[in-house]
Amino acid sequence: MGGQDNNVIANWNKHKSDCPELSSCMIARGALIKPWIFTEIKEQRHWDITSGERLNILKDFVRFGLQHWGSDTKGVETTRHFLLEWLSYTFRYIPVGLLDVIPQQINWRPPSYFGRDDLETLMMSESAGDWVRISELLLGKVPEGFTFAPKHKSNAYDRAENG
């Protein structure tokens, strides 16, 4: 098993060709940033995924979270917590159609840009307040007094208070 964060096909293919005895390679944070990396590897293509397709992935996550933790207030807020933590990774994805150079490297910070639609622009925001807005699209309004700060507390992120 090869170990390294992989978020692009080229890295995967390089590890596999450099060490043919490997049966697999770890994806790690690459899967948090863009969970469709497995499709890209299988199909050997860069997927210029739309904001609507990305939203559907988030909807699936929310559905699974509510099935697991329940749809009561505690279950909804637990699902929201993990969704927000995940969004603190997914915002780093730069859509293939907006890149000047392919492939995107895992340590690249998204440049300031406008997405191809409002949802894509919202999804690329580094503001925790915008992540809360995305959670509200999927789970309803946050409770009064709600705050969120990413667990890893990177200084690149702000803190969202009351959405």
**pLDDT tens sequence across 62-121:** 999 999 999 999 999 999 999 999 999 998 888 887 766 666 666 666 567 788 999 999
Give the global pTM: 0.81
Least confident residue range of 7-16, 30-39, 48-57, 98-107: 98-107
The larger pLDDT score, comparing residue 85 to residue 29, is at: 85
The reported pLDDT for the residue numbered 108 is 62
27 pairs with which residues across the strands? none
CB 36 within 8 A of CB 47: yes
Residues 55 and 92 in one domain: yes
| Rounded mean pLDDT, 22-36 | 81
- Structure-block tokens of residue 154: 């990177």
* Token digits of residue 47: 């997927």
**Total domains, the chain:** 2
110: in domain: yes
* Structural domain contains residue 104: yes
The larger pLDDT score, comparing residue 24 to residue 120, is at: 120
Contact 132, 84 (CB under 8 A): yes
How crowded is residue 120: how many other Cβ atoms within 10 Å of its Cβ?
20
Q: Is residue 70 part of a domain?
A: yes
How many CA atoms lie less than 13 Å away from 45 in the CB half-sphere? 5
Range of the domain at 30: 9-43
Tens of pLDDT along 118-139?
A: 999 999 998 999 999 999 999 9
Q: Any idea which residue has 């890295």 for tokens?
A: 11
pLDDT of residue 155: 45
